[in-house]
Amino acid sequence: MEQVYKERKRFGRFYYRFPNGEAGTDVFDRISDFWSSLLRSIDASPVENLVLVSHGLLMRIFCMVYFHWTVEEFEQVWNPSNCEVWALEKGRGRGSYNLAGRWRPSPSGGSFREIRFGAKKNQPLWNHMKFRRGPRVFVVPSADEALDDPMLAELPGNRRQRVLDEEAGEEEVETQE
């Protein structure tokens, strides 16, 4: 199993296919189809509330599909805890929802908490990841050092950092389950 996790680390959590299993890309395709069907169903028969029950990976990929997260953003979002509730609030317009956060019930009613994000689960989710936007536009930096920001160092897709770590002789460590 250790070899499987090393291989997954190399390919990334989204792209890696476990032996006899599926990759995040497969789930992404199914969720995209599901979301289209769900929208048609809601349009035909509007409802006030809708509850989806799923496991953590599916919750994250659903958000990835709906909010247009990149693979790098998706891989920085941690899986929900067992029985954790993520809430989307109705926004303006047809099919518009905003990611309110993790619902934390309490005797006085409850509150929303930040989705766990970043290498140590303690960074706030980037604001643009909470709202549905149109197609993403990417800007390619003109200077190599533009990618040296410490916030980007933990991204699994940061191949430059991986090469620098390997040259320094640092061993890769699995930090997220």
**Cα dihedral sign for 51, 55, 56, 58?**
negative
Q: How confident is the model at residue 60 (pLDDT cuts 50, 70, 90)?
A: very high
**Span 138-164, mean pLDDT?**
59
Mean pLDDT of 144-155: 64
CB 113 within 8 A of CB 74: no
**Assigned domain for 93 exists:** yes
* pLDDT tens for each residue of 75-133: 999 999 988 999 999 887 766 889 999 999 999 999 999 999 998 888 989 999 999 87
Helix (H, G, I), strand (E, B) or coil at 87: strand
Count the domains in the chain: 1
Residue 173 lies in a domain: no
Banded pLDDT at 43 (limits 50, 70, 90):
confident
Residue scoring higher pLDDT (90 or 165) = 90
Residue 83 domain boundaries: 2-168
Element (H, E) at 7: helix 2-11
**Domain assignment present for 29:** yes
Residue 174 lies in a domain: no
Cα–Cα dist 111/99, whole Å: 13
- Residue 54 pLDDT level (bands cut at 50, 70, 90): very high
Is 176 domain-assigned?
no
Asked whether residue 78 is domain-assigned, the answer is: yes
CA distance linking residue 175 with residue 116, whole number of Å: 14
Give a yes or no: residue 69 inside a domain: yes
Name which residue leads in pLDDT, 127 or 147: 127
| 10 contacts: CB under 8 Å, gap ≥ 6 | none
Structural domain includes residue 175: no
Query: Which two structure tokens, joined as six digits, stand for 110?
Result: 């409850």
Q: What's the chain's average pLDDT?
A: 81
pLDDT at 98: 92
- Per-residue confidence (pLDDT) for residue 48, from 0 to 100: 80
Long-range CB pairs of 150-154 (<8 Å, 24+ gap) are: 154/76, 154/118, 154/119
